[in-house]
Structure 1
């Protein structure tokens, strides 16, 4: 796959879509629904899992929670709308820009790992949602949300009949003014997200089926800069940076004025972080979906979507090793002044993807039929993804380590004579050091057939078998000039033709008694991965690519050649279940997941001068996780429900080493940002029209870098609230996020992968960068319908 410049930590934060925070999926359902979760999740023919609290997220008010089990979250998690993915891939277009869980969504569910792989070739948790369809009467659904930071999110949907012969309409509107955690970016009134979305649907129901036409228009602006400075105290302990309020203060330039280096010319270009050119994602999508029942009991369901988008992407991310104090060889001045700055400074990367034209066409058709004990289905999917030129511009700059920081000019001592310094400006007149970006253009077409059979053998066994075969053709214009600006030189044209991706799934349930049984499943998925190697790529003694610097430490500009391999994902699971109706249900399962042949690149910094950076690429590695999960749902007495979930796992990298600036690093460790112990406790109690609930999630020790030399102490994510149903049509919800008011961090530390021991005095008591969990937030929601 084409190497990505976006950092892994940012990718995690924006991996899946935005929703209304009041829509706590499981908690908005009846207790009866919750009580059958364990039973539904083990059924051999169940495609949708009844997962509790899918939509509660402690790191963001407008993004759903990710399932942190097994394989690290990212592109393998997908959001579907009307049975097809909302977007093809997560960069540069972000799924938050075109999808919300709002009043326009009639129902939502979480697909199993196997179902996601079988239908669209991705082993990961998939959220499937369906737009509201008109009925025979006029209906309206409305929701409004606000919180203690001043965010406002509201949505509405009205639908009804247009005639007596089955025609109907549906109209939806959604507005988001998200102020996040009250962060004041200073250069625009919204601190996290501003979005509006409009949907217009027309439906026709007839004797043997239905057909829906839907138009969706969405405009979104969002800020993806989330890192903040902290102090590393050692032994997994962090504290707030002096003068900083974690998760509250902004760590992007207060005036929003910065520059980047044009990826083609290398020339410096001024920009405003609030400029719509780099913030505003616009899209128009058209859906046609429906179903038809044939006279011989065959049923055909279908869904097609075409979307045209114009998608930029803008982010600033600090480099941990760039937090430093001015010294005899480096001086800093407030930008365009003679005022010297002597406090700590932060090196930052500015990445600005210019608006990219994206055309996406998705189609899925599925034919189903029951034969005796067999439930058969045959499916077809088509995915066409085409971009215009995607231009990524970049620059490095220094800023003050303060809330709403100021831009700094950097001067370096270049005198070879000891004691006689000569300071030369390193940053240009716009305050940056230009670094090469990227230009690319991609067209991908995937056509796949899948089939499955759910069947019974006697009264004991339920089986599911399925397979998918996908043909992929990809054409790419690729930037082959590593570590240099393009300078109008031609891009490399590459075709990856007639590549085949494969999926196989199987599962069983063995019912020993009416209440007790065994279960097991297996999922295999392989798919094309594109990458680009250097023909002159030198290797060290371990066979790792050496960073691209010559004998004098200068960056080397090399051309690349196209290569490909297959990513392989294998998921195995086996366990037991016991169901005693609404009183008690338990599922306990051991799983092993592997993701093989991954390709990545790492940026290494010269330990003697962090302004010198080089990339080790390509690097190959595997991921393997052994886990044990136990899920319990119980209602020991009337009106009380308790869900308890615990996972013990060991998610780790395998066969992962890299070299940079004369040092080889071993990364066969626990994956950063993932815990070995996960626990969830969800009690709720109904008292008349009131429901009182709490959600407590425990995350065990996590590591912040690839070497596992820096760790985060365990922490709890806490939610609590009360719901009041005033009538059948009106309900209220008051919720407190992080009611314990814990302060913590999450995600990988930027630039910390060369730190091999956390006890080195160079790092104890020094500044690092990561993202923080949400501070205590009070949320209020009202829902009503007519």
Structure 2
């Protein structure tokens, strides 16, 4: 989403055996049906996101949180080919229009989608044989306005329709001065479906318009040696609007160096037009064909205020000073927030996607063969990056950096507060494509033994342009600009294979084993920087083995898991540890591996009560993580992966009586390292949720939910500017102001839904 993630490490690996365990309650080995049941529950759980309310909860599998997030599929096709070209939550939301919502575990995601992580799979509602509809409205204590509406019914000659609309105006947990709502999204869909004797075929049009940024959940705080944080100068953690108050960006044109002025909300949003043709057909011999074809046209922009180190004006010496952008004669003294703004206005891209799956169920086999084609044509994709400074307060003010030269104060930033404009121009142009054939088979070898197999062969092709250092320079006015572009062609042949074995050793339980090998290449957007990232094929291996036991009162699944991924490329900002005002954006590579033990328990001791427990123990480590920058070597090999806890617990009780259902969720995260070197970390924390659902009748439901029930305030995820902090230098950050991500503050949510 992009989203800061809740890390339920190894859960995706566990999902296949949970599916088997759930299915065993019925004394059957139809694992796919039980997988859907479990997946639906998990999909609902994914919406409990303690990081943000902009998209589905991300599920991590022991890999870095920005690597293994949640892929989102719509009608079998990923909603965004590449999150760098268009963020998924700018084109998709849980908008109430879907007929099916389920999650796909690690193994199914690798085969069906060619990615690593779990996938949230949704299927559009196609219509209904009787007229009906539904509507819902949601708000919260911060002023959220969210609603969706759908209506469906029959037409003549076996045609059916569905029309839906979704609106979201979310202020987040802060009150920015430049706009009341920092996430403004509207989605409208229309589906016309034709049923015939052996199947159906339909067409859907979807319009999505979305404004906002995915990187606004950062605040300043005082960091302490024990990993806790406290308020900085009384600024509340989680509700301080830590965004420069003008709501404007001032980049320079990447070709001419011309100074530009953009309204961040209005000129960097995303507008999409999507057409789907989808259908299914059943042949006389029992084979089934399921297919989707999509055309996706979008104009989408981007803005991301990257925060860096906080420093004092006193530390910069007598030859540096900072003045207010609004008044260049007024000198500012105190702490300064260094940062970078990466921004682009709307630019065009065209996507063409398709998938077709032929399947058949026989006595001992349930096989499927599929073909998928995904192509994105990104035209002159670019982002301008420049340095920024601002005050540290609610709705901070931009500062201009000045230097003393020959006895006079001269702007180092320009008068708009932009320092070193176009310092890191990001650019790519061309076609990115993936074509894959995949096969799956569920082989019922006996009444006790089932083997699931999956294979995927994918050709990944890039044909476009990029802008290396050789075509970058300065124009006659000294501005950083692009002077050309170079041809780029890349090909990867990716192979993936999965296996899942379930042995029903006795009536209510048995054993499971899983294996995965998957390969993934790079995207065209990986070449947006000036230096060749030298993308190599990333290879993932995973193994697990466990036991399960099912009973009407208690169900238990326990597994030991191992996963490793090689050649992960991380593109980000790195600060010079000897000069916090110097920032370099580059790409580094490393491997990640972890071994873990996960146990899932479901208890139903008496009617109406359910208690779900989940525990994960793991030890995710970096390897082959060694690079040089600022004439200094950084070696993070054998360090614990940042942002991932070693101990995870979930306690989720619920009780239903008459028309009421009361539920709660408490999640424990052991300490999380906040930087690559493990020099800084966040203390263990609990994240809590609770709610009451009331079913007035079969058509009307009301609910009240609470996020952060215990009103915990604190940090999680990462610390700005911490990529190069060494263990030796860590003490310099104790009891000092830093900026980083935070858990959602106490929030009360209200929702009502109506069916008719």
TM-score by length of 1: 0.88
1:219 aligns with 2:212: no
Counterpart of 1:311 (choices 300, 307, 319) is 300
| Residue of structure 2 equivalent to 1:364 | 355
Q: 1:439, CA displacement in angstroms?
A: 2.0
State the alpha-carbon separation in 1 of the partners of residues 482 and 576 from structure 2: 30
TM alignment of 1:352-501, pairs within 5 A: 352-413=343-404, 423-433=409-419, 434=421, 435-481=423-469, 484=473, 487-497=481-491, 499-501=492-494
The aligned residue for residue 141 of structure 1 is 134
Q: Does the CA-based 8 Å contact 1:616-1:659 persist in structure 2?
A: no
Tell me, what secondary structure is at the counterpart of 1:118? helix
Query: 2:635 — aligned with what?
Result: 666
Q: Which residue of 2 aligns with 1:654?
A: 623
Shift of 1:447: 1.5
Q: Deviations over 1:87-131 (max 9, x none)?
A: 111113111112111221122001111111111211210001111
- How far is 1:527 from its partner? 2.1
What residue number does 1:344 align with?
A: 335
Q: Does 2:170 align with 1:178? A: yes
2:185 maps to 1:195: yes
| CA distance in 2 between partners of 1:531 and 1:88 (Å) | 11
Shift of 1:321: 5.3
RMSD (CA atoms): 2.6
* Aligned equivalent of 1:638: 607
The structure-2 alpha-carbon separation of the partners of 1:285 and 1:367, relative to structure 1 and needing over 3 Å to count, comes to same
Q: Deviations over 1:289-331 (max 9, x none)?
A: 1110000111111111111000100111210255664542321
Of 109, 119, 127 in structure 1, the residue corresponding to residue 120 of structure 2 is 127
In the alignment, which of 496, 504, 512 is matched to residue 511 of structure 1?
A: 504
The answer for the alignment partner of 2:14 in structure 1 is: none
Give 1:271 shift. Answer: 3.0
Indicate the residue corresponding to 2:544 in structure 1: 573
The aligned residue for residue 6 of structure 1 is: none
Contact 1:570 1:594 (8 Å CA) reproduced: yes
User: Structure 1 residue 37: deviation in Å?
Assistant: 7.7
The alpha-carbon distance between structure 1 residues 321 and 754, as it changes in their structure 2 partners (threshold 3 A), is farther
The equivalences for 1:47-62 within 5 A come to 48=36, 49-50=38-39, 51-52=41-42, 53-62=45-54
**Residue of structure 2 aligned with 1:595, choices 545, 565, 572:** 565
Q: Is the 8 A contact 1:386 1:442 kept in 2?
A: yes
Q: Distance in 2 between matches of 1:637 and 1:15?
A: 31
Indicate how the Cα distance of structure 1 residues 38 and 648 shifts in structure 2: closer, same or farther if over 3 A, else same: farther
Asked whether the 8 Å contact 1:455–1:463 carries over to 2, the reply is yes
In structure 1, the gaps of 5 or more residues are 1-9, 17-32, 416-420, 535-557
Output the CA distance in 2 between the equivalents of 1:436 and 1:466.
Answer: 42
Asked whether 1:727 is paired with 2:697, we answer yes
Query: Which residue does 1:69 correspond to in 2?
Result: 61
SS at match of 2:733: coil
Equivalents in 2 of 1:559, 1:634: separation in Å?
55
Partner SS for 2:176: coil
Which residue matches 2:12? none
Aligned-pair CA distance for 1:340? 1.1
Q: How far apart, in 2, do the equivalents of 1:773 and 1:559 lie?
A: 35
User: C-alpha distance in 2, partners of 1:94/1:322?
Assistant: 32
Deviation readout 1:668-707 (Å, 9 max, x if unpaired): 2111111001111110011111011101111111010000
CA 1:43/1:700 → structure 2, altered by over 3 Å: closer, same or farther?
Answer: farther
Cα distance in 1, alignment partners of residues 566 and 730 from structure 2: 34
CA contact (8 A) 1:134 1:159 kept: yes
CA distance in 1 between partners of 2:530 and 2:237 (Å): 43
Question: Per-residue CA shift, 1:352-387, capped at 9, x if unaligned?
Answer: 123121111111111111232111111111111111
The residue that corresponds to 1:209 in the other structure is 199
The 3 A distance-change label for structure 1 pair 610 and 267 is farther
User: Is the counterpart of residue 333 in structure 1 residue 303 in structure 2?
Assistant: no
Q: 691, 704, 717: which is aligned to 2:674?
A: 704
CA drift of 1:261 comes to: 3.2
| Higher alpha-carbon deviation: 772-781 or 91-100 | 91-100
Distance 2:755 2:525 in 1: 54
* Cα contact 2:65–2:644 (8 A) shared by 1: no
Secondary structure in structure 1 of the residue aligned to 2:242: coil
C-alpha separation between the residues in 1 aligned to 2:538 and 2:3? 19
Partner of 1:287: 276
Gaps in structure 2 of 5+ consecutive residues? 8-18, 475-479
Partners of 1:616 and 1:85 lie apart in 2 by 28
1:583 pairs with 534, 553, 558, which one? 553
C-alpha distance in 2 between matches for 1:383 and 1:468: 15
The correspondence for 1:152, drawn from 145, 161, 167, is 145
Whether the 8 Å CA contact 2:544–2:561 is kept in 1: the answer is yes
Distance 2:511 2:628 in 1: 47
Instruction: Quote the residue 2:657 is aligned against.
Output: 687
Question: Could you say what secondary structure the match of 1:598 adopts?
Answer: strand
Q: Partner residue of 1:302? A: 291
The residue matched to 1:96 in structure 2 has which SS? Answer: helix
**3-state DSSP of counterpart to 2:95:** coil
Paired with 2:312 and 2:509, the residues of 1 have a C-alpha distance of 57
The secondary structure found in structure 1 opposite 2:185 is: strand
* Partner SS for 1:338: strand
CA distance in 1, matches of 2:341, 2:581: 14
> How many Å separate the matches in 1 of 2:453 and 2:20?
28
Partner of 1:528: 521
Separation of aligned partners in 1, 2:219 and 2:355:
42
Give the 3 Å change call, closer, same or farther, for CA 530–639 of structure 1 in structure 2: closer
| d(CA) in 1 for partners of 2:312, 2:486 | 37
